[in-house]
Amino acid sequence: MSKTKVVQWDPADIKEELLKKYPPKVARKRAKQIMINEATESEAPPEIVANVRTIPGIITMRGCTYAGCKGVIMGPTRDIVNITHGPIGCGFYSWLTRRNQTSPGPDGENYMPYCFSTDMQDQDIIFGGEKKLEAAIQEAYDLFHPKGICIFSTCPVGLIGDDVHAVAKKMKAKLGDCNVFAFSCEGYKGVSQSAGHHIANNQVFTHLVGENKEPRTEEYKINLLGEYNIGGDGFEIDRILKKCGITNIATFSGNSTYDQFASAQHADLSCVMCHRSINYVADMLETKYGIPWIKVNFIGAEATAKSLRKIGKYFGDKKLIDKIEAVIAEEMPEVEAIAKDVRSRTEGKTAMLFVGGSRAHHYQELFNEMGMKTLSAGYEFGHRDDYEGRRVIPDIKIDADSRNIEEIEVEADPELYRARKTEEEIKALEDAGYEFKHYDGLNPDMDKGTIVIDDLNQYEAEKLVELLKPDLFCAGIKEKFSIQKLGVPMKQLHSYDSGGPYAGFKGAINFYTEIDRLVGSKVWSYMKAPWQENPELTATFVWE
Ligand code: CFM
């Protein structure tokens, strides 16, 4: 494929091209998920349809509810034994496939390298798997004596009706010193992994948060919500927080431990990185314990500085504010020098970003810092608020699929609720432009006339690349090689390929230098797909 951009496409034509091959009914549905960003200062961009079922037959980029619960939220916690209740495939294929890093800690309690599964067989499906699950919990306990054991339901478990919660309750009582609880996170439970996040949030909040009553005496205590330590991002953020004198009580859930979750109620502020996966916990912490939450972003050096200042402003203490400024002043010169050098080569280059439910938003910061333009972006499983901002939440229609997920009732705790700021203090901050519980979503990041696409699929991804020829495409492993075969470099923004961290100041430097190499490499222009060289497939028998 030639990389010269011969045609200047109109976004409406691109949309039409993407839809052209579909049968009319499919095209009508997809049209509502492909949005031309027309936001202006005065008017909001058009609505996008999101968090709805993928049309059968389409090769989606999405994962399942079990993946969102077991893999995304609970996966990065090292000292909880995670048992997959189901056939071996679900456990095996979700075993260490996400690059959430951990440090084993002084106690060395780390079960992440293990794969625990009840390995259900045909007879368990027919006669029920509860006994097998009970035995698996007992076996894990006897071997490791962990603080907690979590049970994750896979599709067949839901279909045959095993009562995983009753088993967990029974075993918790029997074992005495081990917190056992379960998740009804069957893969089919929602339209994507997003449902699994919600289910995980509810159970962790119900069974774990608040367990550790030991008071905490550190200064400037925060929770970092929605940071999963992919490629070591969380390590870099923790380095910066520590340098500023900020205490991170609990990360949900990168490099986390049982005790971090159990102590989260001691924080005075929740900082939300990935809004999609964890906003439920942020809200529940506020309702039950009185901890306010703010949106932060540690992807991008400027964004990191901004987020630190936001934390400083909340606590309003001169000592902290000065320290934060000193840290920014110390870290920024190196970042800026490298950004400037890289920018001389990356300025004006173009990218497309299709990742999960928050990174297509966060990473635009890093690309902006390099002078790169995002032509098209979208989420696999974002909801409308992740595109259009939280202001649309009251207008989001609850459908049967969302109703499938339990909404738990949370009330102010009669003993532990403590408003961290008085109403006047909150108001004074807000009057000065401070935003609590605020998130604008992805659309405002995008230039006018760019294309925002929800639940992009294999066909549309290739078509987009063919039409717009970006200098870089960012998505996941399923997309990687099909895009590279089109002669366009592809960066995985889920796993970071083998790179990272990309968060914080050191992460920004890593990202700039890697992307510079990727988009500047000549190798892609030599790329010829096999069918371009030999249009006709030929084959011989091995015995010939
Ligand atoms: Fe949040 Fe994530 Fe993401 Fe996500 Fe994910 Fe991930 Fe992601 Mo892959 S929690 S929504 S379910 S930031 S695993 S660390 S990279 S799709 S954009």
Q: Please write down the HEC assignment for all residues of 438-493.
A: CCCCCHHHCCCCCEEECCCEHHHHHHHHHHHCCCEEEECHHHHHHHHCCCCCEEEC
Whether 148 is in the pocket of ligand 1, judged by its Cβ within 6 Å, is no
The reply to whether 197 belongs to the active site is: yes
> In this predicted structure, what is the pLDDT of residue 142?
98
> In this predicted structure, what is the pLDDT of residue 529?
65
The alpha carbon of 274 and the centre of ligand 1 are apart by a number of angstroms equal to 8
**Phi and psi torsions of 185, nearest 5°:** -110, 40
In angstroms, the CA 440 to CA 231 distance is 26
The reply to whether 275 belongs to the active site is: no
> In this predicted structure, what is the pLDDT of residue 537?
65
pTM over 0.85: yes
The reply to whether 309 belongs to the active site is: no
Whether 194 is in the pocket of ligand 1, judged by its Cβ within 6 Å, is no
- Give every residue of the chain whose pLDDT is below 50, as ranges: 1-4, 6
472 token code pair? 């870089």
In angstroms, the CA 286 to CA 288 distance is 6
3-class SS at 133?
helix
383 token code pair? 């909801």
> In this predicted structure, what is the pLDDT of residue 1?
44
Task: Point out the catalytic residue in the list 197, 266, 359, 494.
Answer: 197
Whether 506 is in the pocket of ligand 1, judged by its Cβ within 6 Å, is no
